[in-house]
C-alpha cells in the first residue's frame, strides 16, 4: 500500500508517509503493518476533513545543551547561590550524560549515572599534586543531583525539547531526618566567656541569631531599612530561603541591634560584611567553640536553639513555623517532642479512671 513501508525489509517495523493540506510531508514510526495501514488511512481522512494537527517534533539537543538552556532561562529567577549549586552539580553530571541526546536518555541511564555519582572517586587537592578520595555521597546530596536532572528534563518538556522525563521513574533517596542541636545553658555561658575575651563584637551577632531564628544568609543580607524599632518588627529580606517574613523584636534582640548599629560604622548592613568574597566569620566562631569546649555545633544551630527554646517555653508550633519561615508544618514538627505538653494528654488516656467507691445498698447493710 502506498504510504506504508518497512524501513528495513523483513523487520516487521512499519512507517507511514503522507502529506498535509499544505503539501508538507510527514513520516511517522507506527509498528505492525495492520496498525500502520489503519494509521495511514486515519491521517489521510483527517487531512481531507481539515482536522489534521501536525505532531510536535522534538528538537534534537544534548543534555548539556538542555541544561544550559534551563540555566539561561532561570538566570533572573533563581538566587545566585541556587544557580551556583546547580552548576557545581552539573560539573559531575555532564561527563556522564552531557554528550547524549536528551530525548534518547532513559531511566536506566539516569540510574546508572546516579550510581556513578554516589561512588567515591579520587579528586585532585587544591594547590597540591596529590589526590584525595572523597567519601560516598549521602542521601541528601544524591537527592540534590536527582532534583537537578529532574528540573532540566521538566524544563525540556515545557519547551518542546523532550517528550518525557526519565528521572520521574527513578526512586528518590531517603531524606536525612535532620539533626537538632541546641545550646545548653552551660555551653552558652562558656561560649560567651571565650567570645568576650577573644572576639567580643561577635556576641551581638550571636544574640541576634538566638532571638530571631534567622538563617545565616538571611542574617548577613539584613539591612537597616528592614529594622523597625518603633513598631518592634524585623523584616526578613527576600533573599532568604523562603522569602520575606516578619519577626517581632524582643528586648534581647533590640539590645543586640543597638550594639550592632554602633559596630556597623555607617554600613547599610546590620552585620558588618567583609569586602573579601571569603568571610572568615565562621572560622572565628569555630575557634571560639573549640576554646569553650563545645563540640558538634554550627552557626545554623543557633536557629535550632531559637526554635527549641520557644517550643520548650510552650509556644505553639504554628507560631514557631511562622517565625522560622517553614513552608510546611512537617518541618517544624521536628521540635514537637520538646514541648512540655507534647503527647501528655494522649498518654494520660492509658491511665484507667479510679474505680468508684461501692454504694452502700441493702446487701451491704445485711452483711
Active site residue 18: no
Q: Are 25 and 36 in contact (CB under 8 A)?
A: no
Which cell numbers in the block locate residue 236?
Answer: 526578613
Active site residue 215: yes
Cβ neighbourhood burial of 103 (10 Å; 0-12, 13-18, 19+): buried
Most distant CA pair in the chain, distance: 112
Name the nearest CA neighbour of 225 among 216, 236, 209, 215: 236
How would you list the strands of the sheet with 14-19, edge to edge? 4-6, 14-19, 25-31
Active site residue 52: no
Query: Looking at 196, 268, 300, 337, which residue is catalytic?
Result: 300
At 30, phi and psi to the nearest 5? -115, -55
Name the nearest CA neighbour of 187 among 260, 291, 257, 281: 291
Q: How far is 210 from 226, CA to CA, in rounded Å?
A: 18
Query: Looking at 43, 155, 215, 221, which residue is catalytic?
Result: 215
Query: Looking at 43, 303, 304, 334, which residue is catalytic?
Result: 303
Count CB atoms within 10 A of the CB of residue 152: 25
Query: Looking at 89, 211, 304, 326, which residue is catalytic?
Result: 326
Active site residue 300: yes
Query: Looking at 33, 92, 241, 254, which residue is catalytic?
Result: 241
Helix, strand, coil share of the chain (percent; to 5): 50, 10, 40
Q: Are 336 and 311 in contact (CB under 8 A)?
A: yes
Buried b (16+ CB within 10 A) or exposed e, 299-320: bebbbbbbbbbbbeeeeebeeb
Active site residue 269: no
Q: Are 258 and 233 in contact (CB under 8 A)?
A: no
Active site residue 326: yes
Catalytically active residues are 215, 241, 300, 303, 326, 335
Amino acid at each position: 500500500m502506498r504510504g506504508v513501508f518497512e524501513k528495513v525489509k523483513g523487520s516487521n517495523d512499519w512507517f507511514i508517509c503522507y502529506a498535509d493540506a499544505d503539501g508538507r510531508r510527514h513520516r511517522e514510526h507506527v509498528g505492525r503493518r495492520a496498525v500502520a495501514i489503519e494509521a495511514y488511512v486515519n491521517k489521510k481522512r483527517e487531512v481531507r476533513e481539515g482536522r489534521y494537527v501536525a505532531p510536535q517534533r522534538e528538537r534534537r539537543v544534548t543534555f548539556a545543551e538542555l541544561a544550559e538552556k534551563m540555566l539561561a532561562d532561570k538566570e533572573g529567577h533563581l538566587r545566585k547561590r541556587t544557580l551556583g549549586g546547580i552548576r557545581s552539580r552539573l560539573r559531575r553530571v555532564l561527563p556522564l550524560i552531557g554528550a547524549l541526546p536528551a530525548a534518547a536518555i532513559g531511566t536506566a541511564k539516569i540510574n546508572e549515572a546516579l550510581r556513578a555519582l554516589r561512588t567515591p572517586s579520587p579528586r585532585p587537592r587544591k594547590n597540591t599534586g596529590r589526590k584525595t578520595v572523597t567519601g560516598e555521597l549521602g542521601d541528601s546530596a544524591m537527592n540534590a543531583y536527582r532534583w537537578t536532572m529532574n528540573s532540566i528534563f521538566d524544563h525540556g518538556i515545557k519547551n518542546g525539547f523532550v517528550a518525557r522525563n526519565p528521572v520521574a521513574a527513578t526512586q528518590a533517596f531517603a531524606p536525612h531526618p535532620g539533626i537538632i542541636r541546641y545550646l545548653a545553658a552551660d555551653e552558652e555561658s562558656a561560649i560567651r566567656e571565650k567570645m568576650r575575651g577573644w572576639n567580643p563584637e561577635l556576641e551581638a551577632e550571636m544574640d541576634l541569631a538566638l532571638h530571631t531564628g534567622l538563617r545565616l544568609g538571611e542574617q548577613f543580607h539584613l539591612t537597616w531599612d528592614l529594622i523597625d524599632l518603633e513598631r518592634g518588627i524585623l523584616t526578613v529580606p527576600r533573599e532568604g530561603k523562603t522569602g520575606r517574613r516578619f519577626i517581632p523584636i524582643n528586648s534581647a534582640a533590640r539590645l543586640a541591634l543597638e550594639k550592632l548599629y554602633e559596630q556597623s560604622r555607617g554600613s547599610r548592613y546590620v552585620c558588618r560584611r567583609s569586602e573579601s568574597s571569603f568571610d572568615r566569620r565562621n572560622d572565628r566562631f569555630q575557634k571560639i567553640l573549640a576554646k569553650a569546649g563545645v563540640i558538634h555545633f554550627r552557626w545554623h544551630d543557633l536557629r535550632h536553639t531559637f526554635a527549641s527554646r520557644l517550643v520548650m517555653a510552650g509556644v505553639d508550633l504554628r507560631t514557631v513555623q511562622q517565625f522560622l519561615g517553614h513552608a510546611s508544618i512537617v518541618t517544624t514538627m521536628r521540635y514537637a517532642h520538646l514541648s512540655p505538653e507534647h503527647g501528655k494528654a494522649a498518654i494520660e488516656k492509658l491511665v484507667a479512671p479510679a474505680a468508684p467507691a461501692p454504694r452502700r445498698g441493702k446487701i451491704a447493710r445485711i452483711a
